[in-house]
Structure 1
Amino acid sequence: MSDNVGLPEAVSMALGGMVGGGIFAVLGVVAGATGTLAWAAFVVAGVLALCAGYSLLRLNSLCDSPRTPVGYVQRFTGNTTLSGVVGWTFVFGYVGTMAMYAYAFGGYFTELTGVSTVDLTGLVGVSTVGSFALQPVISVLVIAVFVGLNIFGAHASGRAEDVLVGLKVAILLVFGVGGVSYGATHGGLEFGLGNVGVGPLVAAGISFVAFEGWELLLFDQESIEDPRETVRTAVYVSIVGATGLYILVALVTTNLAGTQAIQQHAETALAIAARPFLGQAGFVLISVAALFSTGSAINATLFSSARLSKNLVIDDLLPSRLRDEEADEPIRPLLTLGVLAAGFALVGSLDAISSFASLAFISIFGGLCFLALQERENLLSTAIPTLGTVGAGASVVALLWHLFDAERGTFWTVLVLAVVVIGVELLYFEREPLEREVRSVERRIENEV
């Protein structure tokens, strides 16, 4: 982020962080779970994001100087381990979002080029080699490209981001408004109100990752003009704007693409929905926009999460081996995050990746809503953080139950990932007591011998 960022740039960066890749990557999964009621999932997720935004901004205002969300936990609980766990969970959440963006990038690339597999037999002349899927390879390669660009210090300025975000939003608005007009004149649009139940709450949990991005402003307040006021306005404007855009796009996609097409091609649902009223040109336009958006989202998330990791290393909340003493760019964090995201994109499914990333962020934001609620005497409203806390908890439970009931394989994948992440975090932050206990046991054994 450039120095002296004003309100327009702050809004662009917050909105770009959300719209940049989330809607292209996650909408198909949400629509597959709720059908034409997908728009309602984004309403629920948007409300929860606003509750989280209010809670984080109130915590920020209670600090003597602007702090990061990780700093809020340290400031208001005094628990270094807990703040470290929150920091790690942010990092793993960003790894999940980068993997999701890369997965979607690979999907749009193969759909646009029409090449989904590569036959090695013709290349090397050995019949036993066979072929391989191109999509995961493209996903890994695009992450590698942006890791390289960030190592060499390449990133967009605030003013450039204004233009880029404006272009992406404009394309989605054309898609949304054009799709609504087309649907209204060809039999009307179905809102799915007859299927209201726990579906929107489940899908809100899945879609929550699409609202990740606004909180990055809170991690970089030192480079923003009048940070408290600018960040506050930018957070609210961007969340409301993203919610409205998501509702419009979800309504068009679920009505024009069809349930079967969405389930078969979840990662490219928007491009498929553009065909009925924009033809093949619309498919190409949305696909190109998706490639650009998911690519820039990988770059922005990698840039921000690497710097977050660097700060966590400085605060001794990440291993010191990730520290770059002489490098201007956080090379070791960049490489580590890139390898993790590439591995996740290579072996994970879109459902598993998006569910894991959503669970990470909704857990963090729900926890920070609860933290804000503990400072109730300093809040203008306790109803908002209460709604955020309860809603986040309900979404997590509903999502896990849905995965267990309908997608058992994805459920176990997400559960194993969560257990591994939490286990690694606790082992790191409790390493000193564990080391003391191990040395104590070793001494007892030596004395007995």
Structure 2
Amino acid sequence: MMFHNHHDRSTHRARGKSLGIPELIAIALGGMVGGGIFTVLGISVSLVGAYTPLVIVIGGLIAALAAYAYIQLGVYYKDEGATYAFFKRTFPGSPFAASLIGWWIIFGYISTLALYAYTFASYAISGFAFADSVWTRKLVAGGIILVFTIINVLSVRGMGKLEDLMVYTKLVILAIISFVLINHSQTSLPALLADEGPVNPMTLLIVASITFVAYEGFQLVINAVNEMDTPERNIPRAIYAAIALAILIYVVIALGAILAIPFDEIVQNKEYALASGANNVLGHWGTDLVILGALLATSSAISGTVFGASRQMAVVAHDGYFPAFLAQRHNRIPVPAIVTMAALAFLLILAGNLQVILEFGSVTFLLVSLLMAVANFRIRHRTRSSLTLTLLSIAGLLTGTVLILYYEYTRQPEQLVFILTLYALLSIGAWSYARRQRRLAKDAPQKTGP
């Protein structure tokens, strides 16, 4: 997730020269093609096998429904606070609504940070004898979070050039790997589907909902609203184009994986499926290339998530819904927020496993996107939104949320307990801060203004 480099660089550009469509698409793709595909691939294949590419397309369509509400609200409000700001401004009379979405979205980002770091660690140690040691993986994940925390605290501008390089290099590497794998395919898609037999459409929808987190990141374009010309034209173009490109990239990677790598191997090594498969097909250079691609993808995603989400955390704290110290900035860098996010992501890595972190992330982004769709429905006349598309996005996101929870309930009730406990704690925290804000507002009636 990489909008920060442009964000900083644009301040040095001449007026009128701002972010164009290619940069905005890169912002969204930098956010989406992060650890998501590497993480989602193994889990999808273990659940639906040869239907993985189809599931990825359905996940992308759900993401496009979610994007509709974000785009309509983004063009209407033109507020770089994105998710949190839209909800707060659409429901101005409810401090609890603002607080709740603030807490949920920030912890959603913390879970994706944990997910990317966990995936980074899995690939980083995949070539060593201790590749399957869970604690080594967790410590390496903590280490990479620490590295990007230090980088984000020390310098923003220095990351800019490196970030662009990481995003474009990872896309090239992913393309090369996918085409080479497809070239070395051991079978064909029709043969795989014939072996697979019929699949329950409900299962396809459930897995599509679980993979939703791989598309999380398109809303970062909205954070750059102050750096672009004609947001009403550029926001929709950039976001829809980026989602279409992400679907294409993911489908090609998934095809390469399922055609060239035996399923049991993808499932067995689901944390680093592509690397183990490439080794058999392409030898050690193939593995090294995959590992490099995965490390670049997860690194750029970790860096951008730390950057973007820490700033959103500081805004929520500034509004009084998080502890006040999180709003502090040193040279415009929200150091306490960055450090707190990193620490919480590491705690989540210590407490959960890859699957539970992935599912918490997907549930959170489905829920938050559903709330965005509801907010858009509420002011649909002002955002000039199509009633059909607005209702369709609410229905699609609600279905995804219900299905993922149903899956947890039937398959992994203990994971569901973990996820629901986390939500209960977040909601209590959000409620207590909203209550405090309400009390402060009552005690200060003489203060008027925004």
Fold agreement, TM-score > 0.5: yes
The 1:415–1:260 alpha-carbon spacing in structure 2 relative to 1, beyond 3 Å, is farther
For residue 108 of structure 1, the aligned residue among 120, 123, 135 is 123
Q: Distance in 2 between matches of 1:211 and 1:329?
A: 27
Shift of 1:325: 5.2
- The residue type equivalent to 2:406 in the other structure is W
For residue 347 of structure 2, the aligned residue among 343, 349, 362 is 343
- The residue type equivalent to 2:408 in the other structure is L
Task: State whether residues 146 and 299 of structure 1, in contact with CA within 8 Å, keep that contact through their aligned partners in structure 2.
Answer: yes
For residue 368 of structure 1, the aligned residue among 372, 391, 400 is 372
Query: Which deviates more from structure 2 when the two are superposed, residues 299-308 or residues 325-334?
Result: 325-334
- In the other structure, the counterpart of 1:45 is 59
Shift of 1:400: 1.4
Shift of 1:189: 5.6
- In the other structure, the counterpart of 1:333 is 337
Task: State whether residues 52 and 385 of structure 1, in contact with CA within 8 Å, keep that contact through their aligned partners in structure 2.
Answer: no
- In the other structure, the counterpart of 1:7 is 21
Superimposed CA distance per residue, residues 246-279 of structure 1 (whole angstroms, 9 cap, x where no aligned partner) = 1222233234333322332211012223234323
For residue 24 of structure 1, the aligned residue among 24, 32, 38 is 38
- List alignment gaps of at least 5 residues for structure 1: 119-131, 437-449
1:14-413 correspondence runs (5 A): 14-63=28-77, 68-78=82-92, 79-116=94-131, 133-154=135-156, 161-183=163-185, 190-191=192-193, 194-324=198-328, 326-377=330-381, 378-413=383-418
Q: Distance in 2 between matches of 1:404 and 1:155?
A: 45
- The residue type equivalent to 1:99 in the other structure is A
Shift of 1:368: 1.0
Task: State whether residues 106 and 136 of structure 1, in contact with CA within 8 Å, keep that contact through their aligned partners in structure 2.
Answer: yes
- In the other structure, the counterpart of 2:13 is none
Query: Which deviates more from structure 2 when the two are superposed, residues 139-148 or residues 241-250?
Result: 241-250
SS at match of 1:318: coil
The 1:65–1:404 alpha-carbon spacing in structure 2 relative to 1, beyond 3 Å, is closer
SS at match of 2:192: coil
Query: Identity over the aligned pairs, expressed in percent?
Result: 26
TM-score w.r.t. length of structure 1: 0.87
Task: State whether residues 186 and 259 of structure 2, in contact with CA within 8 Å, keep that contact through their aligned partners in structure 1.
Answer: no
Q: Distance in 2 between matches of 1:152 and 1:37?
A: 45
Task: State whether residues 15 and 242 of structure 1, in contact with CA within 8 Å, keep that contact through their aligned partners in structure 2.
Answer: yes
Shift of 1:134: 1.3
- The residue type equivalent to 1:396 in the other structure is T
Q: Distance in 1 between matches of 2:276 and 2:190?
A: 19
Alignment length (residue pairs): 423
The structure having more radius of gyration, on CA atoms, is 1
Superimposed CA distance per residue, residues 291-326 of structure 1 (whole angstroms, 9 cap, x where no aligned partner) = 121122111100111111122222323221213255
Task: State whether residues 65 and 396 of structure 2, in contact with CA within 8 Å, keep that contact through their aligned partners in structure 1.
Answer: no
- List alignment gaps of at least 5 residues for structure 2: 11-17, 442-450
Superimposed CA distance per residue, residues 382-424 of structure 1 (whole angstroms, 9 cap, x where no aligned partner) = 2222222111111121111212222233222222222222222
Shift of 1:48: 1.4
The 1:255–1:146 alpha-carbon spacing in structure 2 relative to 1, beyond 3 Å, is same
SS at match of 1:311: helix
Shift of 1:60: 2.4
SS at match of 2:130: coil
Q: Distance in 2 between matches of 1:222 and 1:189?
A: 51
SS at match of 1:58: helix
- The residue type equivalent to 2:41 in the other structure is L
Q: Distance in 2 between matches of 1:195 and 1:319?
A: 48
Q: Distance in 2 between matches of 1:397 and 1:165?
A: 34
Task: State whether residues 45 and 52 of structure 2, in contact with CA within 8 Å, keep that contact through their aligned partners in structure 1.
Answer: yes
Shift of 1:380: 4.7
Task: State whether residues 206 and 400 of structure 2, in contact with CA within 8 Å, keep that contact through their aligned partners in structure 1.
Answer: yes
Task: State whether residues 143 and 338 of structure 1, in contact with CA within 8 Å, keep that contact through their aligned partners in structure 2.
Answer: yes
Shift of 1:158: 5.7
Q: Distance in 2 between matches of 1:140 and 1:29?
A: 23
TM-score w.r.t. length of structure 2: 0.87
The 1:181–1:364 alpha-carbon spacing in structure 2 relative to 1, beyond 3 Å, is same
- The residue type equivalent to 2:204 in the other structure is P
- The residue type equivalent to 1:24 in the other structure is F
Task: State whether residues 102 and 316 of structure 2, in contact with CA within 8 Å, keep that contact through their aligned partners in structure 1.
Answer: yes
The 1:408–1:64 alpha-carbon spacing in structure 2 relative to 1, beyond 3 Å, is closer
- In the other structure, the counterpart of 2:423 is 418
Shift of 1:149: 0.9
Superimposed CA distance per residue, residues 95-120 of structure 1 (whole angstroms, 9 cap, x where no aligned partner) = 000100111111111212333489xx
Shift of 1:184: 7.0
SS at match of 1:213: coil
Shift of 1:52: 1.6
Q: Distance in 2 between matches of 1:160 and 1:325?
A: 24
SS at match of 1:41: helix
Q: Distance in 1 between matches of 2:108 and 2:139?
A: 22
Shift of 1:345: 1.3
Shift of 1:150: 0.8
Shift of 1:63: 3.1
Task: State whether residues 178 and 277 of structure 1, in contact with CA within 8 Å, keep that contact through their aligned partners in structure 2.
Answer: no
Shift of 1:64: 7.1
